[in-house]
Amino acid sequence: IRDSLRYLFLFYFTVIIRNSAIFLSSLNHLINKKRNTMEITLKQLLKSAQEKQIAYASFNAPNYESAKAVVLAAEELQIPFILSHGPGHDCYTDIEHVMDFYRSLTKNLTVDHCFHLDHTSDLSYIEKALKLGFTSVMYDGSHESYEDNVANTINVVAMAI
């Protein structure tokens, strides 16, 4: 019985110490947590990655659940990230709603992040994304002639500035 009690005591003592350490770690994180959003441009995020000689992940998140999973993991691990959306995702959630939940999920984050519109050939869709707050767009003119691709790329750059 004495050995059993000793084992039980050590087990509970270990659990209490472990949980206290987790609590203190969480408390420290909350105390030191920045209160402002860390939304930046893709250019700023890539500059940071280049300086640190690392890469940041871009996640296609066409619905609330997938975006929430990315945001929660990034915040817990304190790793910057990119949330991406493309016109092919509109069958799941349209771009207006996507930006609404991207913003609501990231409003209190303490890690750098940006919103990227991926592989889009429709210039009016790109303009809409920029107005909604996407900080990066990828114009895909691969189906166009070289001349039209260059002209459209120039138009996209002008929209983004």
Per-residue pLDDT tens digits for 27-67: 334 434 443 458 999 999 999 999 999 999 999 999 999 99
Give how far Cα 20 sits from Cα of 17, 24, 30, 75, Å: 5, 6, 15, 21
Q: How confident is the model at residue 16 (pLDDT cuts 50, 70, 90)?
A: very low
- DSSP-derived letter for residue 114 is E
d(CA 21, CA 27) in angstroms, rounded, equals: 10
Could you tell me the two tokens for 141?
């003119």
Is residue 112 part of the annotated active site? The answer reads no
Q: Which of 90, 118, 122, 140 is catalytic?
A: 118
Q: How confident is the model at residue 1 (pLDDT cuts 50, 70, 90)?
A: low
Contact 141, 149 (CB under 8 A): yes
